[in-house]
A = this chain, B = another copy of it.
Amino acid sequence: MKKEIKELKGTFVVMVTPFDENQNINFKAMEENIEWYIEKGAHGLIPLGSTGEMASLTEKERYEVAEFVVKIVNNRLPVCIGTTSETTTKTIEYTRHAEKIGADAVLILPPYYYNPVQEEIIYHYESISDAVNIPIMIYNNPGTSGVDIQLETVLKLAEKENIKYIKESTGDIIRLREIERLGHGNIITFCGSEELVFESFFLGAQGWVSVIGNALPELSSAIYEETVINKNYKRAKEIYNALLPLCIELETSGKLVQIIKYCMDRRGVNGGNFRSPRLPLSKEYCKKIDRLLEKAVDFNKSR
């Protein structure tokens, strides 16, 4: 039975992968997290992104996580699975698996060790697109993958029917605006930055791939609702200002995974351990994060 295709919109939490003390994936913790994301109003979930330490997982673990999340969510929310891999062949394998198990979409970064040229990027995505029916979200993050999927390349890829979304993480708002302006609706933008979401929604983004949503899903979803649904920009900006100090730390510290897992632990959900060579935050830095998190939580209570 072919799965009905859901339109992706809103704030999608790009989920952490919690590890136990033996560095194994803690599926029980992951299940609790999923229930919490849903309860707190997340609009969708994305396992196996950078925040999920996808490159630190084995192939077997990646299949397990994908299957587990789809099963637990059980169609209560759309699930978009990260299926990035170094070769086109392997990416197709992961993507077919995602399609088979009933995911709603896949999120794909270009090969991140090899730096492909633009025509190879086109070949990569078109080959994947041809091999599956599941909707594809391109992920452009030059800082992570070492290559920029240029504007012209994005517009070209948008011609494929199932290349429907792009997660925009260049950090340059002009790029997202130009995709919106020149894409004529052929491709839907998702903000892929922790510190450009209000601006992105204003300029037409339909969603946000959110890290902070792991720890503050109430607020990360609320900013979508106020900006896109209600167009209450004043209210949205208050929420944004409550989120920004933490979001800026996530984007600029080089410690994104450690910070978000720490914040989750502080909120009573399961950040858990992370994989090597990630090192824990210093005590002093934790205090800073405590202060920022507390302020955001207080803001949320006072809403």
Interface residues of A (CB under 8 A from B): 23, 50, 53, 55-56, 86-89, 111-117, 119-121, 123-124, 127, 143-144, 146, 171-174, 177, 181, 195-196, 199, 202-203, 233, 241, 244, 254-255, 257, 275-279
Contact = CB atoms under 8 A, between A and B. Distances in A.
A160 to B, nearest CB: 15
A171 B244 CA distance: 20
B89 A23 contact: yes
Contacts of A121: 277
Contact of A276 (B89, B144, B174, B257): B89
Of A87, A115, A124, which is in contact with the most chain B CB atoms at under 10 Å from its CB?
A87
How many copies of this kind of chain does the complex include?
4
Contact of A87 (B111, B112, B277, B279): B277
B278 A113 contact: no
A278 B116 contact: yes
Nearest to A123: B277
A36 to B, nearest CB: 25
A79 to B, nearest CB: 22
Contacts of A278: 114, 116, 120
**Shortest beta-carbon contacts, A-B, top 7:** A88-B276, A55-B113, A124-B277, A120-B277, A88-B277, A55-B86, A173-B173
A277 B111 contact: yes
B119 A87 contact: no
A113 B114 contact: no
15 contacts: A23-B89, A55-B114, A56-B86, A88-B277, A89-B275, A112-B113, A113-B144, A116-B277, A116-B278, A120-B278, A143-B146, A144-B146, A199-B199, A199-B202, A202-B202
A89 B277 CA distance: 8
A114 B49 CA distance: 12
Contacts of A87: 56, 275-277
A52 to B, nearest CB: 12
A67 B23 CA distance: 28
A88 B120 CA distance: 31
B123 A279 contact: yes
A123 B90 CA distance: 31
Contacts of A254: 115, 117
A227 B121 CA distance: 38
Contacts of A172: 172
Given A56-B86, A116-B278, A173-B173, 14 more contacts: A55-B86, A55-B113, A87-B276, A87-B277, A89-B276, A113-B113, A114-B277, A115-B254, A117-B254, A120-B277, A144-B146, A173-B196, A173-B199, A174-B196
